[in-house]
Amino acid sequence: MDLHLPCEDSSVNDVVPIWNPSVVANAERQRLQGKDGSKVTTVVANPCQGPDRPLEVSYTDTMVIGNGSFGVVYQAKLCDTGEMVAIKKVLQDKRFKNRELQIMKRLDHCNIVKLKFFFYSSGDKKDEVYLNLVLEYIPDTVYKVARHYSKLRQTIPINYIKLYMYQLFRSLAYIHSLGICHRDIKPQNLLLNPETGVLKLCDFGSAKTLIKGEPNVSYICSRYYRAPELIFGAIDYTTKIDVWSAGCVLAELMLGQPIFPGDSGVDQLVEIIKVLGTPTREQIREMNPNYTEFKFPQIKSHPWSKASFIKVFRMRTPAEAVELVSVLLEYTPSLRVSPLQACAHAFFDELRDPLHRLPNGRSLPPLFNFTQLELSAAGSLKSALIPKHLKDSVGSGNEASAASGGPSTPENINPDSPSHPSSSTTSRQPSNEIV
């Protein structure tokens, strides 16, 4: 097999070039001793929303909970409230404005991790500056939960898969309505509260506001979840790469293992072809018009039918689940369903049942508290998205206030939710850098 794929280059600095002469006006940190002898760190931080007035924030009980090429993530406790937070610390280039921060300041959604504060700190080396994002702390991830079941040689119960995937699609619908592409959807970036069943999308370190005609790097997204157009080297892709990744996550949760494992771009493509068949020339042109190598193995795909989906999925996998995967994992990006179309899919009908509960007996978290921004993109899908019992209770024209299947209380009704904070308008400077 002779496949020629673009080189994988992950060396691109994914930040927004903009002149910023000083980002460390409040970099100094004071270390004090708490009453119980614990170390307390006090910083001058900026709030994510509201008036841009720096304020002192003190935290303690700091410990490392994650690290990687991006930096380090700490868990800490706010001294004033006792609330647990996660602090993501990343090295900052003073010549650039951090794209992750600019995007996080725009976001306000129940299925997206909330940025509370941010501050800058100095490093050990001269002129070394770190950006610290203070985020709400959520204890689990879909990845950890899936691993737990895998060790038991089980898959996550289908009710939980429905709940988690529905909330993922809601988060994608929201960020895509703002023109933002996450570019790294995977189980590790899906935070979970195991008690309430609430899922929140995190890690916007690879996210970008996509602008038509503006090139983007193709080597983005974790390999098992990379859309085929990225493997073919496309630089003018759309938010549909997130939809493909979400389809991979759904398939993985049902299978108990990644659907397209691969150690390289070629391996990845072979795994995709095994399931979807060899892409046609037209499909390849739709993925990347500039790709000219057409030497592919001719492999027949598994037909997505009730009679033969056992070749990919387990015998008892619901037909609606397989059908949803089939419209998410399309070669042609434009043929993949939108996140809101996915939310309206029959696979999630059970969540719209007012009597449905979590397997632990608890009520479902708010699932239908759509903001006007979300519904403005829904069009004719509104009637399918909001359950009949909620439409009847809130009346015509108030669909945005429909919330969970539980009682209509102030906590789960959201008629006046802001679409996003006023800080969503950020300045952009022209750049020759492709990110």
Residue 125 labeled ligand binder: no
Q: Is the pTM of this model over 0.85?
A: no
Catalytic-residue membership of 61 = no
Q: Going from the N-terminus, what domains does the chain have, and what CATH number goes with each?
A: 16-24+34-136 (3.30.200.20), 140-351 (1.10.510.10)
Question: How distant, in Å, are the alpha carbons of 9, 53, 259, 327 from that of 317?
Answer: 38, 53, 14, 16
Could you tell me which residues are beta bridge partners of residue 130?
Answer: 91, 121
Largest CA distance in the chain: 70
| Residuewise pLDDT in 10s, the chain (435 residues) | 455 555 554 434 444 333 233 444 444 455 666 666 679 999 999 998 777 789 999 999 999 999 877 889 999 999 999 999 999 999 987 777 789 999 999 999 999 999 999 999 988 788 889 999 999 999 999 999 999 999 999 999 999 999 999 999 999 999 999 999 999 999 999 999 988 999 999 999 999 999 998 999 999 999 999 999 999 999 999 999 999 999 999 999 999 999 999 898 889 999 998 888 888 888 988 898 887 665 665 656 555 543 334 467 877 888 899 999 999 999 999 999 999 999 999 999 999 999 999 888 899 999 999 988 888 888 889 889 999 888 765 444 444 444 444 433 333 334 333 333 333 333 333 344 566
Q: Which of 14, 108, 184, 242 is catalytic?
A: 184
